[in-house]
Structure 1
Amino acid sequence: MPKTSGSGRIFKNPVLEKLTRTHIAAPLVAFSAVSTYLLYQAVVAKGIGGLQVLVWFLGGLLLYSLVEYIMHRFVFHMPETTPARKKFVYTAHGVHHDFPRDKDRLAMPVPVSLALSAILFFVFRFAMGDFVYAFLPGILMGYASYLWVHYMVHAFQPPKNAFKIWWVHHGIHHYKQPHRAFGVSTPLWDIIFGTMPEQQK
Structure 2
Amino acid sequence: MMVRTFRAHPTRVRLFRNKWLELTTLTPFPLFFSVWFLIDILAIATAFQTDSGWKMIAGFLTGLLVWTLFEYVAHRYLFHLKLSSALGRHFIFLIHGNHHADPKDPLRSIMPLTVSLPLGFLIWLAWRHSGLVAHNSGFAGFVVGYTIYDTMHWACHQTSSRGRLARLLKKHHLLHHYAPVHGNYATTVPLLDRVFRTHIRPR
Equivalent residue pairs, number: 195
TM-score (norm 2): 0.88
SS at 2:70's partner residue?
helix
Q: CA deviation at 1:19?
A: 0.8
* Match for residue 35 of structure 2 among 27, 30, 36: 30
Tell me if the contact between 1:5 and 1:101 (Cα under 8 Å) persists in the aligned partners.
no
| Corresponding position: 1:162 with 2:170 | no
Tell me if the contact between 2:161 and 2:170 (Cα under 8 Å) persists in the aligned partners.
yes
Aligned residue identity for 1:41: T
Query: 1:36-95, CA deviations, whole angstroms, 9 ceiling, x for partnerless residues?
Result: 222222223x2x223221221111111111111111111111114221221012111111
CA distance in 2, matches of 1:31, 1:160: 25
Tell me if the contact between 1:35 and 1:136 (Cα under 8 Å) persists in the aligned partners.
no
Tell me if the contact between 1:24 and 1:147 (Cα under 8 Å) persists in the aligned partners.
no
Q: CA deviation at 1:129?
A: 5.2
Q: Tell which has more relative contact order, 1 or 2 (C-alpha 8 A, sep 6+).
A: 1
- Match in the other structure for 1:12: 17
Tell me if the contact between 2:79 and 2:95 (Cα under 8 Å) persists in the aligned partners.
yes
Query: 1:17-45, CA deviations, whole angstroms, 9 ceiling, x for partnerless residues?
Result: 1111111222322222122222222223x
* Match for residue 114 of structure 1 among 117, 121, 133: 117
TM-score (norm 1): 0.89
Q: Where in structure 2 are there 5+ consecutive unaligned residues?
A: 1-8
CA distance in 1, matches of 2:110, 2:155: 12
CA distance in 2, matches of 1:60, 1:177: 34
Q: Which moved more, 1:167-176 or 1:115-124?
A: 115-124
Tell me if the contact between 2:25 and 2:114 (Cα under 8 Å) persists in the aligned partners.
no
SS at 1:127's partner residue?
coil
Tell me if the contact between 2:176 and 2:183 (Cα under 8 Å) persists in the aligned partners.
yes
CA distance in 1, matches of 2:46, 2:99: 37
| Corresponding position: 1:72 with 2:99 | no
* Match for residue 190 of structure 1 among 188, 193, 201: 193
Tell me how large the CA RMSD over aligned residues is. 1.9
SS at 2:48's partner residue?
helix
Q: Where in structure 1 are there 5+ consecutive unaligned residues?
A: none
